[in-house]
Amino acid sequence: MFTHFQTQGFFLKKENKGEANQLLTIFTEDFGKIKILGRAIRKITSKLRPSADLFYLSEIEFIQGKNYKTLTDAFVIEKFKNLRKNPEKIIIVYKMTDAVETLCGEGQRDTKIWRLLFDGLQYLNNLNNCKTKIFYYFFLWNFFSLLGYKPELYSCCVCQRKLLPETFWFLPCEGGIVCWRCLKNFSAEQKEKTEEITVDAVKILRLLLKQDWKVLKLLKISVEDLKNVEKISFSYFKFLKEI
């Protein structure tokens, strides 16, 4: 006899397997990120198909076999309709789920990441279009922080001095900021691993990391600062993917 497991989960990724099967990556409330086989799920007649689409939140039931888990039932709870009909939001949700898919280990329950994803998708679903990019960075940096990679944004990661409002550099491998005094002593190779970060971009990241969704409504951000945040985020994410 197989044991049946029940939980809620977000469908993050679907990969076709064989003629009609799919391997589904789901972030669940009780088991973290898991991969489940959807047998014959691509057939029109599949009863699982209507509740197992990308980015749906569904109640799911699965069994654990010797080698893999198999989806046995699914019931959709939330389809995030506003999100699905908006191309800009779809891009953001792909980026969010890519971060979770890339950086979360399998089978590790994490209620805080579950909550961030849950609140994040609801928030994005109802969000005004012009705030989607900064929303993504709110999600991403709080996600890094929950994974244990919260950056140090208040003191230099080399000399530990409190940062004064001057020019800084972000050092992904240290998860923090380097002051100009310390940067002077860096080799050319070390310097190459840093990214210049503006005082305002540091302030924005500090605010985002307060994990308060209300911040997003109040935050006004210039195109230049958004570009700088984008560059730092890309560089830190790239580093985290490689470790």
Q: Which residues bind Zn ion (CB under 5 A)?
A: 156, 158-159, 179, 182
Helix (H) or strand (E) holding 207: helix 199-208
Please state the closest distance from residue 185 (CB atom) to Zn ion, in A.
9
Of residues 78 and 152, the one with the C-beta less far from Zn ion: 152
CA distances from 151 to 29, 37, 221, 238 (A): 26, 37, 20, 15
Of residues 116 and 179, the one with the C-beta less far from Zn ion: 179
* Contacts (Cβ under 8 Å, ≥6 apart) of 139: 96, 99, 116, 120
Question: Of the candidates 241, 164, 235, 223, which has an alpha carbon nearest to the alpha carbon of residue 196?
Answer: 235
Strands (E), the chain: 4-17, 21-28, 32-38, 57-64, 69-78, 152-156, 168-171, 176-178, 195-197
Residue 183 DSSP SS3: helix
Of residues 77 and 159, the one with the C-beta less far from Zn ion: 159
Please state the closest distance from residue 204 (CB atom) to Zn ion, in A.
21
- Distance CA(240)–CA(66), nearest Å, equals 32
- DSSP-derived secondary structure for 99-132: HHHHHSPBT---HHHHHHHHHHHHHHHT--GGGH
Please state the closest distance from residue 178 (CB atom) to Zn ion, in A.
6
Of residues 52 and 179, the one with the C-beta less far from Zn ion: 179
Please state the closest distance from residue 202 (CB atom) to Zn ion, in A.
14
Please state the closest distance from residue 56 (CB atom) to Zn ion, in A.
47
Cβ-based neighbour number of residue 181 at 10 Å: 12
Structure tokens at 207: 């605010």
Please state the closest distance from residue 133 (CB atom) to Zn ion, in A.
31
Of residues 64 and 155, the one with the C-beta less far from Zn ion: 155
Of residues 109 and 181, the one with the C-beta less far from Zn ion: 181
